Structure 1
Amino acid sequence: SGQGNTFDRGLAADYLRLVRNEDTPNARFFKKEGVQPAQAPQGFFVYNYGSAGIFRRADWMVTLKGYTTDVWGSEIYVKDNRYGRYQSYGSVQIMGKGNPVSRAGSGFVQEGWDWNRLPGTTTIHLPFELLDSPLKGTTMVHSKENFSGSSSLEGKNGMFAMKLMERDYKNFTPDFVARKSVFCFDNRMICLGTGITNSNADYPTETTLFQTKYNGVDSKVGDDNYWLHDGYDNYYHVVDGTVRSQVAEQESRHEKTRAVTKGKFSSAWIEHGKAPKDGTYEYMVLIQPSATDLDEVRKTPTYEVLQRNQTAHVVYDKKTGITAYAAFETYRPDGDKLISAIPAETMVMYMREPDKGIRLSVCDPNLNIKEKAYTTKESSRPIRKKIRLKGHWTLTALMDNVQLEQQGENTVLTVTCQHGQPVEMLMHEK
């Protein structure tokens, strides 16, 4: 740890958090040395070398996952993960139940699991023989798109966006595309999709809300077909989309042996139909809300979608005051109070500060690595992004990777992005 201790006390505290009440030699030693279990990490964590974001509060964690030219979508081997094709198709996986919290405690078990229905993903629902990897050896598919990953503001709240596309392999659908985003505030996620298109007329395209091992809890919340419950204290409100839900005994295949497995699951998904053209969806996820929180959100919307099309997904969250932009193409809004233009394939988040300033982050998740291979020694190369702001703004503190230039009534903000990390700044209006 570089702190001169005989062992890494921070790591030891996390170890005690993870083993909970297990009596192990290490746990006994660390407790004897006065180490207390750490608290679970809190906030939003950007991991764009994995085209991923991690959203955490309390003891729950959400993993948001995509893939790019540099990050493969899944690792499939001769006898491992045979049906894992869709693992990075915009998955939104919640782990928040169990003591300690675990996959099984959160509703994932392999027996009977439908590999077509990873939560959050938009997929073509295939028979298992077609979903099975078409290659005899390793399948590690890269995308041809580079806009996939996450960003954050203050390390507390964040977002994920991706241009989804499928490659041209046997049993794949090479014209399958979609644009997806997830906006994460407190214990709420707003999930948007546009441009869901493919020519597969044999099998339906779906966006999965959840798939969990059935534990006896009904998925419907009252008589409302558009409010659903996954049985693990997470609630889903569908604003746009044809919802289907079921509790069913499912037959699946083992990811290593292909043997038949069975299990009873509660599932819900948005139906886009066969060979969809420009399909869309919008839904909100409430993660482990209190009864009061749930009641309040059901009565009064907590967010507003400012734009949802092929150009951009833009959301304003009323509770945190954050506006977040996923600009898939160059974005020039008409009535935005702050933003005049955002370049293509950029994520921007901002909020007003009490002293009339703003806190703003800019991120391009593209690692911008020239060599396209399974592994590389090449580093991420810098990318410059120019954002045009309305009004005259100045940085609160000078930054090497941010330059401002006044142009008429606007301020041009030039940000140098690298390693897929958000660049965050405080600004005041002149």
Structure 2
Amino acid sequence: MKNILPVLIIALFIFSVKTSVSADSDLDTIEKRVFETLENPDVDDAEIASLLRTFTSDGKWPGINYEDVSRTGFEHRNHSGNMVTLARAYQKKDSKYYKSGEVKSTISAALKTWVDNDYICDNWWHNQIGTPNNLVTLMVLAGDELPEELVKKAQPIIGRANISAGGARPGGDRIKIAGIEAKNMLFLGNREKFDEVIKVIEGEIKHVEWIGNDYGFGFRRIVGGFDNRSAEGRGIQYDNSFHHRTDGVNNTLSYGLGYADAFVEWAVYTNGTKYAFSEEKLEELINYFLDGICKTCVFGKYPDPGAKNRSISREGTLKPYSATTAENLLKTTDYRKKELQEIVDIRNKGIKTTLSHATFFWDSEHFSFQRPDWFTSVRMYSTRVYNMEWPYNSEGLLNHHRGDGVNHVSLTGDEYFDIWPVYDYLKIPGTTVMQKPEFPSENEIQKLGETDFVGAVTDGIYGAAAFDFKSPHDPLIARKAWFFFDNEYVCLGTGISCRNNDFPVFTTLNQCLLRDDVTVSANDISSVVERGKNKFENVDWIFQDGVGYVFPNPAIVNIENEAATGSWWKINKQSDSPKDQMSLDVFSVWLDHGKRPSNKTYEYIIVPATTIGKLERNVSKNNIEILVNTAEIQAVKNKESQICQVVFYKAGELEISNNLKLVSEHPGIVMLKMEGDKVSKITVADPNRELDNYHLSISQKITNPGEYLDATWNAKENLTNITIRLPRKNYRGASVSIKL
């Protein structure tokens, strides 16, 4: 034993040394990767020359308002950004300013200005994320060569980004703030704290319970509302949408995208080291990226304008996404490799998507539908979620109706690019809106929905969405539904009523950039419309930029195809928002329900990726049968695909054909796949989120009930009574499909 003990001590010592060396080696690897990534962006030597030339003796740059620290100002971000740009040039060997003494002294003088003044913005984000991120980037790139006193003074400012900071809310900006702190710990060489922060980053990838589980049905009757919740509800939802705040608003393409990118960034940095993230967490993130982010995008590449909030009022907000996130995920795992590679190729090479899907994000009341040639979506809200993001920092100032069943349609992804300064925010595609002369104040934008029956049914490929709409802004109600198929989708509205006698109510089919002649067919005669604003009677169909608008019954339609003017400043009061008037050619088409409408209806078919020839042959019109459009039931049958979709706002029955009857014992949405008069698949959903089982009957004998289905034949009524088990807990609102 005496001889063994020294050997064990020596072995433990050697193991400890090896472990320590290994950890240090891993940290060196990670630090090198971080440096290379931060240094990587291109440097424009002309820009560097300008920054050096204009830098003043008092350590500032002209054109930056150093006095305004308001939420709409804080141009100081340009000062800290300039320091980072100079630091990149200083480290880039292919820049003429590589290791330039003038660049180094300018950085030092600019940093001294910052640490001496410690600029604090009224918006916490700049103080805990924006400024610390720029300063830590500066430290990683050039901190070792800057005056030690300045580096030391910068640390408390960078340190405002820490996992205990107020902004580091779980599921919110916590992962982004943790990433900033991790970089700072690498710079400082604090391995113990770095270990802790990396675990926080990995742990943030998780699904969180939607607040609507407790405050969904009947939510408006709970005192305190969302502020009375026990769970935060921030983060990746179980439907793979993303909530940044506790309002239930879909933030997938804003905060949710930044959330994913922050995790992916560190997944790449730590890959192949002892700090590498688990396969389980990587798979969870990839599922969110592919099934959440990418399915909220047009062809997985362009942002869906219907999913955007206040950021719609920023220039370039609908520009296509880069392939970087997907490329980085491919570096870390082989999970869903083929799908990730397709996203890379779509974004880099412009290949055509192969994915067709019908996806409902039940936690966010958002529906998206895609075919290889076109994409569309529907945005709704209910008693479970708010209609729109609050106009923080005076952005998105006219977004009052951008959740009211908005329905954009895209063939290319750029049909709405930067149209927002000239947009008519009372004529938003898919919405039914009272045409008031003035908008309520920006403080009246965000409203909680007032109806429970909002949702969709989908089997993953086909689907229908329904919105029991009650405007929180105007005395207006309507029942709106959308029915989606391979080559077209049907839009139905009923019960449209408004108590206001002063202003008309419009349903807008589309408002997008004018890219083509507008052709109208009325009384079976088609002609190109002159530019301007016109009303047409007995319209059969309209065509513009590859999209057809078909009316099952001749309709009176308003069309506007001319230049519209406006400015970014009208919708975004940030200090750097352009104030100049601009003009764009815009196409708008809408239906006028008149003043004080009572129980009005509309019926139209959107036919994307079509031609005038197909419209003239009535291809889609002949393929669609609108079975009923009343306040109780809305139903559509597609003859080619043999799919019938039905919205029951109350219990009822429907004759689908002479030989097939459908009965629903309560409100809900049903989709039937048929083979002749026989039903081969049933898909159901409960928009009210209150049922454990869906009860329906069909006039067909079913003999093979499955795990989620009970069936009893009622010979007297010639009906099979069916009970389908619905999703529960975090999946209420999702659909169930049963093959017969």
TM over 0.5: yes
Q: Counterpart of 2:372?
A: 58
Measure the CA separation in 2 of the matches of 1:261 and 1:124: 27
Q: How does 1:96-175 map to 2 (within 5 A)?
A: 96-97=411-412, 101-104=413-416, 109-127=419-437, 129-135=438-444, 139-153=445-459, 155-167=460-472, 172-173=473-474, 175=475
Per-residue deviation, 1:298: 5.3
Measure the CA separation in 1 of the matches of 2:689 and 2:624: 31
Matched, 1:94 2:409: yes
* Contact 2:646–2:670, Cα closer than 8 Å, also in 1: yes
Q: Counterpart of 1:405?
A: 712
Q: Which amino acid aligns with 2:670?
A: V
Per-residue deviation, 1:96: 1.8
Unaligned stretches of 5+ residues in structure 2: 1-278, 284-329, 528-537
Per-residue deviation, 1:109: 1.3
Q: Which amino acid aligns with 1:301?
A: N
Rg larger in structure: 2
Query: How many equivalent residue pairs?
Result: 382
Q: How does 1:341-420 map to 2 (within 5 A)?
A: 341-353=663-675, 358-368=680-690, 383-395=692-704, 398-399=706-707, 401-408=708-715, 409-418=718-727, 419=731, 420=733
Measure the CA separation in 2 of the matches of 1:338 and 1:245: 40
User: What per-residue deviation string (whole Å, max 9, x for no partner) do you get for residues 21-68 of structure 1?
Assistant: 49xxxxxxxxxxxxxx78342121222222122111114210112111
Q: Counterpart of 1:237?
A: 550
Per-residue deviation, 1:333: 3.1
Matched, 1:248 2:553: no
Per-residue deviation, 1:177: 0.5
Matched, 1:277 2:567: no
Q: Which amino acid aligns with 1:158?
A: G
Q: Counterpart of 1:319?
A: 640
Per-residue deviation, 1:104: 4.0
* Contact 1:236–1:286, Cα closer than 8 Å, also in 2: yes
* Contact 1:248–1:264, Cα closer than 8 Å, also in 2: yes
Matched, 1:82 2:382: no
Per-residue deviation, 1:352: 1.9
Inter-CA distance 244–131: structure 2 relative to 1 (3 Å threshold): farther
Measure the CA separation in 2 of the matches of 1:356 and 1:313: 21
Measure the CA separation in 2 of the matches of 1:16 and 1:246: 38
Per-residue deviation, 1:232: 2.2
Q: How does 1:333-348 map to 2 (within 5 A)?
A: 333=654, 336=657, 337-348=659-670
Q: Counterpart of 2:510?
A: 210
Matched, 1:20 2:348: yes
Per-residue deviation, 1:286: 0.6
Inter-CA distance 354–319: structure 2 relative to 1 (3 Å threshold): closer
Secondary structure of 2:724's aligned partner: strand
Matched, 1:425 2:728: no
Per-residue deviation, 1:5: 7.6
User: What per-residue deviation string (whole Å, max 9, x for no partner) do you get for residues 151-173 of structure 1?
Assistant: 124x2221111100022xxxx22
Measure the CA separation in 2 of the matches of 1:90 and 1:394: 40
Measure the CA separation in 2 of the matches of 1:299 and 1:114: 30
Inter-CA distance 212–104: structure 2 relative to 1 (3 Å threshold): closer
Matched, 1:44 2:325: no
Measure the CA separation in 1 of the matches of 2:627 and 2:340: 45
Inter-CA distance 357–187: structure 2 relative to 1 (3 Å threshold): closer
Measure the CA separation in 2 of the matches of 1:299 and 1:76: 40
Inter-CA distance 394–51: structure 2 relative to 1 (3 Å threshold): farther
* Contact 1:40–1:59, Cα closer than 8 Å, also in 2: no
Q: Counterpart of 1:377?
A: none
User: More deviation in 257-266 or 189-198?
Assistant: 257-266
Measure the CA separation in 2 of the matches of 1:120 and 1:197: 17
Matched, 1:197 2:497: yes
Q: Counterpart of 2:333?
A: 7
* Contact 1:116–1:125, Cα closer than 8 Å, also in 2: yes
Per-residue deviation, 1:250: 2.7
Per-residue deviation, 1:393: 1.2
Per-residue deviation, 1:120: 1.1
Per-residue deviation, 1:17: 3.2
Inter-CA distance 279–58: structure 2 relative to 1 (3 Å threshold): same
* Contact 1:17–1:39, Cα closer than 8 Å, also in 2: no
Per-residue deviation, 1:14: 4.3
Per-residue deviation, 1:82: 1.7
User: More deviation in 72-81 or 2-11?
Assistant: 2-11
Inter-CA distance 415–142: structure 2 relative to 1 (3 Å threshold): farther
* Contact 2:494–2:631, Cα closer than 8 Å, also in 1: yes
Measure the CA separation in 2 of the matches of 1:18 and 1:365: 34
Inter-CA distance 16–405: structure 2 relative to 1 (3 Å threshold): same
Aligned counterpart in structure 2 of residue 73 of structure 1, from 364, 384, 387: 387
Unaligned stretches of 5+ residues in structure 1: 23-36, 369-381
Inter-CA distance 132–215: structure 2 relative to 1 (3 Å threshold): farther
Per-residue deviation, 1:291: 5.5
Per-residue deviation, 1:324: 1.1
User: What per-residue deviation string (whole Å, max 9, x for no partner) do you get for residues 1-24 of structure 1?
Assistant: 6589843534641441342249xx
Inter-CA distance 365–250: structure 2 relative to 1 (3 Å threshold): same
* Contact 2:607–2:620, Cα closer than 8 Å, also in 1: no
Per-residue deviation, 1:261: 5.6
Q: Which amino acid aligns with 1:421?
A: A
Per-residue deviation, 1:284: 0.8
* Contact 2:516–2:545, Cα closer than 8 Å, also in 1: no
Secondary structure of 2:407's aligned partner: strand
Matched, 1:263 2:584: yes
User: What per-residue deviation string (whole Å, max 9, x for no partner) do you get for residues 159-218 of structure 1?
Assistant: 111100022xxxx22x31000111111121111111000112222111101112223422
Root-mean-square deviation (CA), in Å?
2.8
Report percent identity of matched pairs.
Answer: 20
TM-score (norm 1): 0.80
Q: Counterpart of 1:188?
A: 488
* Contact 1:177–1:197, Cα closer than 8 Å, also in 2: yes
Inter-CA distance 355–214: structure 2 relative to 1 (3 Å threshold): closer
More helix by share: 2
Per-residue deviation, 1:386: 0.8
Inter-CA distance 394–198: structure 2 relative to 1 (3 Å threshold): same
Measure the CA separation in 2 of the matches of 1:68 and 1:300: 32
